[in-house]
Amino acid sequence: MDIQDLRIFARVAAVQNLSSVGTELGLTPGTISKRIQALESELRVRLFDRTTRSIRITEEGATFLSYIERILVDLEKARAAVGDHTTRPKGKIKVSAPASFGRLYIAPAISAFMRTYREIDVQVDLTDRIVNLQEEGYDVAIRNGPLTDSVLIAKRLCPDRQIVVAAPAYLEAHGAPKTPVDLTQHNCLVLGDKWQWSFCRGKEDFSVRVSGRLRSNNGELLRHAVLDGLGLLQTSELLVREDLATGRLVRVLEDYEVASDSAVWAVYPSSKHVLPKLRALLDFLADWFRDISANGTPTDKPNGRAIDIGKKHYSSNGKSPSRSSCTSVG
């Protein structure tokens, strides 16, 4: 049994796309298919159910995978224990990230990562669409906000506090809401289908169904709308902290915390065998966002330089914001 065939099998099980695995390993989809078929012939069992448009692991394949993943992990550990410690991860990584968040945070992080890992090529797609990692061949997706139930593995990178903001011009014309109930009297800018805004203060919970004239699935569009004074926006503090620091936006309802389990996540297929190139990126991003949470700016690890990606946020009253003390509400 060829160890390379086992690696191919584990990657196909994780990605569920022959073309993506072939591109990653420098092999044609036909070669990948033949290697899988040879493994199935040797085992005398069908590992995948195939159609013209999809490939899905069988029950027998999943059982086999649980053993193979342990073997591959142990093999990596053994190689690391006796091998050349100067060996660097290499290969190609395909990443998806939200458009606005990706531009502000992922773009500089990837630049710093590629300066450190010069043998890794990276493709970054910025989209507010929730991509299907397995069908579209992504190694990892960066997501900010609450996570829905998923078969993916999620690595929490940092908190992503949600706040409600408005432009000074809007507040001068319409006044500022004092309580969550007051939101029903305002034009609220809505991301996707998030019409229900939930808050907490101490042990009290509040939930309000908002309304407004503008709804979009693109956070950057809504940020421009709130800057233009079109209404109130519930958004990530990370996305608007520079706007808050410069006074272009003002936080409202400061006595209330948005009830959310929002965070910045790296999600990837649920294979226990994480390739060294992906492990390198996950660890790098964890350090990057840890620096952002602690200092407001990340550290470019190769030379210790701080990368300025926006001033540390201060709320409209000039005080550094405190962390939410209320529990998350679904």
Q: What is the H or E stretch that residue 122 is in?
A: strand 120-126
Closest Cα to residue 268, out of 133, 157, 115, 105? 133
Q: What is the mean pLDDT of each run of 10 residues along the chain (330 residues)?
A: 87 84 83 92 92 86 87 76 66 91 93 93 91 85 78 85 95 96 96 91 90 90 96 93 94 91 84 78 92 67 36 32 35
Pick 3-82's CATH classification: 3.60.21.10, 2.70.170.10, 1.10.10.10, 3.40.50.850: 1.10.10.10
Asked if 137 contacts 11 with a C-beta cutoff of 8 angstroms, the reply is no
Helix 18-25 × helix 3-15 angle, to 10° = 130
Domain boundaries, the chain: 3-82, 91-159+263-295, 162-258
In this prediction, residue 14 carries a pLDDT of 82
At 240, the amino acid letter reads: V
Cα–Cα–Cα angle for 230, 236, 241, rounded to 5 degrees: 85
Q: How far is the C-alpha of 52 from the C-alpha of 64, rounded, in Å?
A: 24
In this prediction, residue 282 carries a pLDDT of 93
Q: Do domains 91-159+263-295 and 162-258 have the same CATH topology?
A: yes
Closest Cα to residue 263, out of 298, 293, 284, 283? 293
Q: How far is the C-alpha of 253 from the C-alpha of 180, rounded, in Å?
A: 7
In this prediction, residue 212 carries a pLDDT of 94
Pick 91-159+263-295's CATH classification: 3.90.180.10, 3.40.720.10, 3.40.50.300, 3.40.190.10: 3.40.190.10
In this prediction, residue 116 carries a pLDDT of 92
Domain 162-258 has CATH 3.40.50.620: no
Across 77-103, b (16+ Cβ under 10 Å) vs e yields eeeeeeeeeeeeeebebbbbbbbbbbe
C-alpha dist (Å) from residue 104 to 30, 65, 96, 109, 205: 40, 38, 14, 9, 32
In this prediction, residue 213 carries a pLDDT of 94
Q: How far is the C-alpha of 192 from the C-alpha of 181, rounded, in Å?
A: 21
Asked if 283 contacts 147 with a C-beta cutoff of 8 angstroms, the reply is no
pTM of the model: 0.62
In this prediction, residue 149 carries a pLDDT of 57
In this prediction, residue 19 carries a pLDDT of 85
